[in-house]
Amino acid sequence: MGPRTAAGPGERTMSWGLQNRLARMIKPSTGRSLMLAADHGYFMGPTHRLENPRTTLEPLLPYCDAVAVTRGILRSSLPPTLEVPVILRVSGGVSILSSDLSNEDITTSLEDALRVNASAVALSVFVGAPHEHESLVHLSRLIDEAERYDMPVLAITAVGKELEKRDARYLALACRLCAELGAHLVKTYYCEGFEKVVEGCPVPLVVAGGPKLETERDALELASQALAKGAIGIDMGRNIWQSDKPVAMIRALRAIIHGKATVEQALEVFRKAAGPGPSSAVAARGSRTTPSARAPV
């Protein structure tokens, strides 16, 4: 199955500004995107290896097509000379200590998103969770407002602490709801039967990585299989910056996303970029054949 591209029947009616912002993040030459996710701190705090976002992100930025952050991290940790398109996280209001992660609101105004020149705004929706209704209404309202300024909205099918239970049927439902409400892009998780999720979602899908997988190979396989089944890219965080060799990892992912590399070829890119060390051995170890979606957030 080919990727569901940003260009489709809807493109003819999509305004210039929306198309331009999407084209900054989704490379027109390949129709794909490598988004670097670093918006975890808004509810997880100083996540492992993202304690100092500036130090973590700086070496990775040259290899991504967009970076996902909150306005706080953008202003404090990324330079205003940044050329990489920004996906601004605009939902929040709850912490990892809460028993109900779905209790989010819109925490950043669209005015602020425009002020920092964001290329998209991102918000989590929690289908099936106690605050399902609010999160879907927030998405709709955000889209109404964002479309006035040709700002794309990336809807995130957040799963709270329930990811283990979220299968293709659930993710297909959640992604379709986001598309029906008008999201321009949807971020979801890879799962068994992912092609069903793609089939039911008429807008481009990107996949998150979830918590750090055992080996780099596992994460490369996840990306490769998601693309093969129709995702247009990844919006990945922990499996990049929690790797012992984050630059090698993002370069290997890039080879898959934009260079059509196989997992074996990408591992070769990883090994060359990583140089000698234990991480190369970890990457090379055998792995599951079907990476699964496994994790909250």
**Active centre residues (catalytic):** 187
Q: Nearest to residue 220, comparing CAs of 179, 185, 250?
A: 250
The two three-digit tokens of residue 254, written as one number: 């890039």
Q: Name the 3-class secondary structure at 265.
A: helix
Query: Among residues 20 and 55, whose Cβ is nearest to ligand 5RP?
Result: 55
Angle subtended at Cα 202 by Cα 167 and Cα 196, rounded to the nearest 5 degrees: 30
Query: Among residues 152 and 210, whose Cβ is nearest to ligand 5RP?
Result: 210
Is 264 within 8 Å of 76 (Cβ atoms)? no
Is 269 within 8 Å of 252 (Cβ atoms)? yes
Q: Name the 3-class secondary structure at 35.
A: strand
How far apart CA 217 and CA 257 sit, in angstroms, is: 15
DSSP 79-138: -TT--S-EEEE-EE---TTSS-TT--EE-S-HHHHHHTT-SEEEEEE-TTSTTHHHHHHH
How far apart CA 198 and CA 230 sit, in angstroms, is: 6
Q: Are strands 91-92 and 105-106 parallel, antiparallel or unpaired?
A: antiparallel
244-278 residues labelled b (16+ CB within 10 A) or e (exposed): ebbbbbbbbbbbbbbeebebeebbebbbebbeeee
User: Given the structure tokens 């309202």, which residue do they identify?
Assistant: 141
Could you tell me the smallest distance in angstroms from the CB atom of residue 16 to ligand 5RP?
28
Q: For binding to ligand 5RP (CB under 6 A), which residues are involved? A: 37, 39-40, 68, 156, 208-210, 235-239, 297
Could you tell me the smallest distance in angstroms from the CB atom of residue 250 to ligand 5RP?
12
Q: In terms of C-beta density within 10 A (0-12 exposed, 13-18 middle, 19 or more buried), how is residue 48 classed?
A: exposed
Query: Among residues 39 and 65, whose Cβ is nearest to ligand 5RP?
Result: 39
How far apart CA 230 and CA 86 sit, in angstroms, is: 24
Is 67 within 8 Å of 40 (Cβ atoms)? no
